[in-house]
Structure 1
Amino acid sequence: MYALFALFPLFWMLLISFKHDREMFNTIFVFHPTLENYRVLFSTGEYIGYFMNNVFVSVGAVLLSLVVGVPAAYALARFDFKGKEDLAFTFLSFRFAPEMLVILPLFLIYQRIGLYDTAFGLIWVFQLISLPFIIWILRGYFEDISPEIEHAARVDGYSWWRVFLKINMPLIKPGMVAAALLSFIFVWNNFTFALLLAGQDVVTTTVASLKYISSDTVHYGQMAAAVTISALPEVILALLIQKHLVRGLSMGAVKG
């Protein structure tokens, strides 16, 4: 029952994507299916560009967060230093701070330093979304790994980097997959940063959906088709790594 409740919005969106605009409010389940909305969507090639922009900035943001967040999570889990918990909470506060609270100063800073309407600018600002997830989820994983395992490997002659790469990284793989997927979903679906910190050169699929709203009407079918295509990467990724995702979310991955 819960699965039907959760999947119904996706089914409804898919249904609308096959409707003519003239049938949008006249019928519910009985209508004449059409691929016109998808034809219009891909006729100019613009949407493919928006889609690739979203792929580039989302994957780039998650990869950068992993490069920075994995060592940071390890440091917060293993080392004791003054202000450690305050620093960890600061990272977490970035995720829960309202986006509208920081968007104006970020907009002014981005325009001054030349990051406005650039892919790197979006990748950089998306760290506010993805980095806290990765740090806090992986910190719990590192805390679950016994330090004695690392000490034993060091005694056997392993360097710190070999211990980290050969022992710790395989052990946190489920948590890393779960954290990366959650971060990707939140970054992929972000609207505020992509709308206000990008212009015409870097348009993502979330912002591109506004193009189907005109002054006199809303093309619901085209918008539903765009959103359906935009949701495919998240669904496909979740299905491909379902085993790691479930394991990562059920083995203390949200500890901190």
Structure 2
Amino acid sequence: MEQKKRGEKALMLAGKVLLVFYTLFAVFPLIWMIIIAFKGDSQMYDTLFIFHPTLANFKNVLTKGSYVKAFVSNLIISGGAVLVSVLVGVPAAYALARYEFKHKEGVAFTILSFKFAPEILIIIPVFTIFQKLKLYDTYFGMIWIYQFIGLPLLIWVLRGYFEDIPVEMERAAELDGYSKREIFFKMLIPLIRPGLVAAALLSFIFCWNNFTFGLMLCGFKIQTITVSALTYISTSTIHYGQMAVVSVIAIIPEIIMCLCIQKHLVRGLSFGAVKG
């Protein structure tokens, strides 16, 4: 019996050691990026952990060039796109979950296919449309195209949440005198809040990190952070330290959002899975 307990403790200890090593392995690229952000160009190829830290890279990124403007533009575009996706996606998810109509599953699959279709497949016709409608290099045009990035995911996640809510709850509320509007906003929205938060966050991350649309549909007035990072690559050299600073700053909004909505995020990713 005692030997069995020792064996179990040894297995637990080995598991914890392996977990620590895996954690270090998984987060090392992030640690490496932060270290490079504090390295000068002359120390870039020296030893990894022994160097003289400098803030020159942060100064160059934040005071020179257009990265700050690109950061603000990216925030406006991604935030606006997620807002539009939520306003459109929540009613669409409810309709797909509750109502029966012809070709319902075909419509749902078509919406989902927008997520899997490669962006390069549609970029040329979209570019032509933007030029004709004068949407090129405008916030309205970028928000309009970016909302297609997260909308399919949001609809499919929330559809599963609505399907998990019994219809009898809505009928009971109707018998109590509640209107459909009151049922939707006062009962259903609070129940799907974890899934809505999780899906909205994932949609924001996909929009925030998008490169193709920002490269092809933006010009001199608007620039996203993914495209702005290319300015630190020249024909003669690559400023790795400044690119690391750009990457570190770019992940700050995502980390802050994850920490702020962590409670809803964990529950949202654990429940409301798509059925069938």
Is the TM-score greater than 0.5? yes
Matches of 2:210 and 2:203, distance apart in 1:
11
The aligned counterpart of 1:98 is: 118
Matches of 1:178 and 1:254, distance apart in 2:
14
Which residue identity lines up with residue 16 of structure 1 in the other structure?
A: I
Matches of 1:166 and 1:5, distance apart in 2:
45
The aligned counterpart of 1:62 is: 82
The aligned counterpart of 1:216 is: 236
Q: Give how far 1:255 is off.
A: 4.2
Matches of 1:198 and 1:29, distance apart in 2:
39
Matches of 1:72 and 1:40, distance apart in 2:
45
Which residue identity lines up with residue 88 of structure 1 in the other structure?
A: A
Q: Give how far 1:194 is off.
A: 0.6
Contact 1:137 1:255 in 2 (8 A): no
The aligned counterpart of 1:81 is: 101
Q: Tell me, yes or no, if structure 1 residue 158 matches structure 2 residue 178.
A: yes
CA deviations on 1:33-85 (whole Å, 9 max, x unpaired) are: 10000011111372221111010000000000000000000000000100110
Contact 1:17 1:225 in 2 (8 A): yes
Contact 1:94 1:132 in 2 (8 A): yes
Q: Give how far 1:149 is off.
A: 0.4
Matches of 2:120 and 2:30, distance apart in 1:
28
Larger mean Cα displacement after TM superposition, 3-12 or 73-82: 3-12
The aligned counterpart of 1:171 is: 191
Which residue identity lines up with residue 53 of structure 2 in the other structure?
A: P
The aligned counterpart of 1:11 is: 31
The aligned counterpart of 1:225 is: 245
The aligned counterpart of 1:146 is: 166
Larger Rg: 2
Which residue identity lines up with residue 151 of structure 2 in the other structure?
A: L
Matches of 1:81 and 1:151, distance apart in 2:
20
Q: 2:129 aligns with which of 109, 112, 115?
A: 109
The aligned counterpart of 1:42 is: 62
The aligned counterpart of 2:206 is: 186
The aligned counterpart of 1:129 is: 149
Q: Structure 1 length as normaliser, TM-score? A: 0.97
Q: Structure 2 length as normaliser, TM-score? A: 0.90
Contact 1:178 1:249 in 2 (8 A): yes
* SS, match of residue 34 in structure 1: coil
Matches of 1:5 and 1:84, distance apart in 2:
45
Contact 2:97 2:159 in 1 (8 A): yes
Contact 2:66 2:228 in 1 (8 A): no
Matches of 1:50 and 1:122, distance apart in 2:
13
Matches of 1:206 and 1:253, distance apart in 2:
31
Which residue identity lines up with residue 249 of structure 2 in the other structure?
A: I
Which residue identity lines up with residue 49 of structure 1 in the other structure?
A: K
Q: How many residues align?
A: 256
* SS, match of residue 172 in structure 1: helix
Which residue identity lines up with residue 115 of structure 1 in the other structure?
A: L
Which residue identity lines up with residue 233 of structure 1 in the other structure?
A: P
* SS, match of residue 30 in structure 1: coil
Q: Give how far 1:248 is off.
A: 0.3
Contact 1:65 1:127 in 2 (8 A): yes
Matches of 1:255 and 1:9, distance apart in 2:
36
Contact 1:133 1:183 in 2 (8 A): yes
Which residue identity lines up with residue 191 of structure 1 in the other structure?
A: F
Identity level (%)? 60
* SS, match of residue 47 in structure 2: coil
Q: Give how far 1:254 is off.
A: 4.3
Contact 1:65 1:134 in 2 (8 A): yes
Q: Give how far 1:119 is off.
A: 1.1
Contact 2:197 2:268 in 1 (8 A): yes
Which residue identity lines up with residue 54 of structure 2 in the other structure?
A: T
